[in-house]
Structure 1
Amino acid sequence: MSRAWFSQPLETVAVWWRIERRDGVTLGFTSHDRDLVFNGLRHRTAPGMIPSAVRKSATFEADSAEIAGALSHDSISEADLAVGRFDGARVTMGLVDWETLVAETLFAGSIGSVGREGAQFSAELASVKQQLLHEVVPRTSPSCRAEFCGEGCTLSVASYTHESMLSDVGGERQWVKVSGVAADDFAFGWLRPVDGGDAGVMLSIRAVEDDWLVLERPLAPGADAGLRVQLLEGCDHTVGTCAQRFGNAVNFQGEPYLPGNDLLTRYPVVQG
């Protein structure tokens, strides 16, 4: 039988949050004045974190919630928020009886956007109902819709992941050179530092210029030659690259030869 919350004049109830970041780190917090251990995780006391009203509906409209608080807990630092360690993290929120440790989940979703103002932060939470907004039947596209080494692509992440180290850093730490690999293979790929202030963070590689990898943002201060990194090769999602470089045209998730809307504006070509 589920617990009937707030049915008594005095209740031993606290709010809890569980945050699973994309880099594999899982954090637990509670509004109680001491740490609580349940569901296999220690939930650290964080009285400065305040949940807004959780709005749930029986319709297909997405539920919503928000967390606000002070940047006072060691597990949530301004630097981690700035580099995006919490962006897209999975979040569950609920109530727990701090005497019996009976817990119930009220909200499940992911962190949408994170805002910061002075010593305060706020995070908007998107419920799992957001997945209902995804198109069931994908739109046609001349380029591949699948994520490289993701669902539909079928290529192995391990086969195209390389371990190396930075040989040079420039452009205010946004341009890097990597030793022992061909830079052209990593256009539109990913770089993840193993050490330093960005350890565990996935940074997209926006372009390759003369053996320099141009990252989406500068690396954390202190990043220099010798920094260990993991690299995932990239793909431009064209059928030519899929067929010639990866030999994976059979799994190409696009329609490169389907006539587009410009078909009626094309002029005939005289063959002679």
Structure 2
Amino acid sequence: MSRAIDNILREHLIETVTTLATCWRVTRTDGVVVGFTSHDSSIEAGGLVFKASGVSQTDTAATMGLDVDTTEVHGLIDDEDGVPEQVLNKLYDGAKIDVFELNYKNPPAEITETSVIWVKSGVVGDAIRERGAWVIEARTLTDLLRQSNSVKTSRLCRAEFGDHNCRADLSQYRKSGFITGYSGRVVSINIPNLGVNDARRGLLELSNGVKFDIDSNTADRLTLTEPPAFDPTGLNGVVTFGCNKWITDCQKYNNMLNYYGEPYVPDSDDWVAGFFNTVNL
């Protein structure tokens, strides 16, 4: 990462008083680029508006070798900017993040290698909502070296339910209803003929666009993985059934030909048992 700066920024830095603000540029996995700043008002730089929403970050230290450095970026929840819903919809997971400082009184028209002070680049590990704020965990790019990019054999299906590998038609496994109440993670919903745990590991999408992962369900209640931050009572909801990724789920959905796993590959215990059985022959 370049540490060189242009003459305009260099002249500002030698002044007695500087006016620097930290900015975070996040390129989400859907291609949308958003910006945040630690300044008390929004900054426009390089054609992007860096929003001021009480953003701050925890301390971080650079380490030698291939260790992954992490830091957390915190921002106050503002329902108008849509970030809380975007965090819940996992749009920030795996996003690219760039951290830099600029002169907020004279922001550059273009963000280049020398027009700002580059601090760090990385990827978003986890993005969550926590106590009235959204929290993004930023990891250095060396984290990519620790990720597996090849296909491994597994007894569990590696496909996501309904994707191009699974090929299940999710329109056949959706049911609609309306929310009649909630308490914590448990949402009461009026859906006819909903079987017990039909929606386990499934998805609830409300009519306001907010989505929730489903942990389990009964005939009229859904247990979500995390509680709603608002009262969903009265909203319509669409429940998409889930898949536990075992071969029995493919049998249930009549989709065994597209099972994206190896359910009968012996595990390490089977290999050891087979070896000793061979020795004893």
TM range (shorter): 0.5 to 0.7
In the other structure, the counterpart of 1:191 is: 204
Confirm or deny that 1:110 pairs with 2:117: no
Q: 2:23 aligns with which of 8, 12, 16?
A: 16
Q: 2:10 aligns with which of 7, 12, 15?
A: 7
Q: CA deviation at 1:15?
A: 2.1
What's the secondary structure of 1:17's corresponding residue? strand
In the other structure, the counterpart of 2:246 is: 238
Q: Is the Cα–Cα contact under 8 Å of residues 84 and 134 in structure 2 kept in the other structure?
A: no
Alpha-carbon distance between aligned partners in 2 of 1:7 and 1:191, rounded to the nearest angstrom: 52
Identity %: 23
Q: CA deviation at 1:254?
A: 1.5
How many pairs align? 253
Q: TM-score, normalised by structure 1?
A: 0.67
What's the secondary structure of 1:240's corresponding residue? helix
Q: 2:266 aligns with which of 250, 259, 264?
A: 259
Cα 1:74–1:235, aligned 2, differ >3 Å: closer, same or farther? closer
What's the secondary structure of 1:186's corresponding residue? coil
In the other structure, the counterpart of 2:36 is: 29
In the other structure, the counterpart of 1:213 is: 222
Cα 1:160–1:100, aligned 2, differ >3 Å: closer, same or farther? farther
Alpha-carbon distance between aligned partners in 2 of 1:208 and 1:33, rounded to the nearest angstrom: 44
What per-residue deviation string (whole Å, max 9, x for no partner) do you get for residues 181-224 of structure 1? 744542220112233xxx52x32211222343222233344322
Alpha-carbon distance between aligned partners in 1 of 2:251 and 2:175, rounded to the nearest angstrom: 26
Q: Is the Cα–Cα contact under 8 Å of residues 73 and 136 in structure 2 kept in the other structure?
A: yes
Q: Which runs of 5+ in 1 are unaligned?
A: none
Cα 1:17–1:246, aligned 2, differ >3 Å: closer, same or farther? farther
Q: Is the Cα–Cα contact under 8 Å of residues 44 and 107 in structure 2 kept in the other structure?
A: no
Q: How does 1:4-153 map to 2 (within 5 A)?
A: 4=5, 7-8=10-11, 9-10=14-15, 13-19=20-26, 27-32=34-39, 34-45=41-52, 49-51=55-57, 60-67=66-73, 71=76, 74=78, 80=84, 88=93, 90=95, 91-97=97-103, 98-104=106-112, 106-112=120-126, 123-150=136-163, 152-153=165-166
Alpha-carbon distance between aligned partners in 2 of 1:39 and 1:181, rounded to the nearest angstrom: 54
Q: CA deviation at 1:179?
A: 2.9
Q: Is the Cα–Cα contact under 8 Å of residues 46 and 108 in structure 2 kept in the other structure?
A: no
Q: Which runs of 5+ in 2 are unaligned?
A: 113-117
Q: CA deviation at 1:234?
A: 1.0
Q: Is the Cα–Cα contact under 8 Å of residues 28 and 41 in structure 1 kept in the other structure?
A: yes
Q: Output the amino acid matched with 1:223.
A: P
Alpha-carbon distance between aligned partners in 2 of 1:103 and 1:134, rounded to the nearest angstrom: 30
Indicate the larger mover: 25-34 or 212-221: 25-34
In the other structure, the counterpart of 1:164 is: 176
Q: CA deviation at 1:144?
A: 0.9
What per-residue deviation string (whole Å, max 9, x for no partner) do you get for residues 144-203 of structure 1? 12222346434466x4674733253355561422435744542220112233xxx52x32
Q: TM-score, normalised by structure 2?
A: 0.65
Cα 1:242–1:131, aligned 2, differ >3 Å: closer, same or farther? farther
Cα 1:136–1:110, aligned 2, differ >3 Å: closer, same or farther? closer
In the other structure, the counterpart of 1:174 is: 186
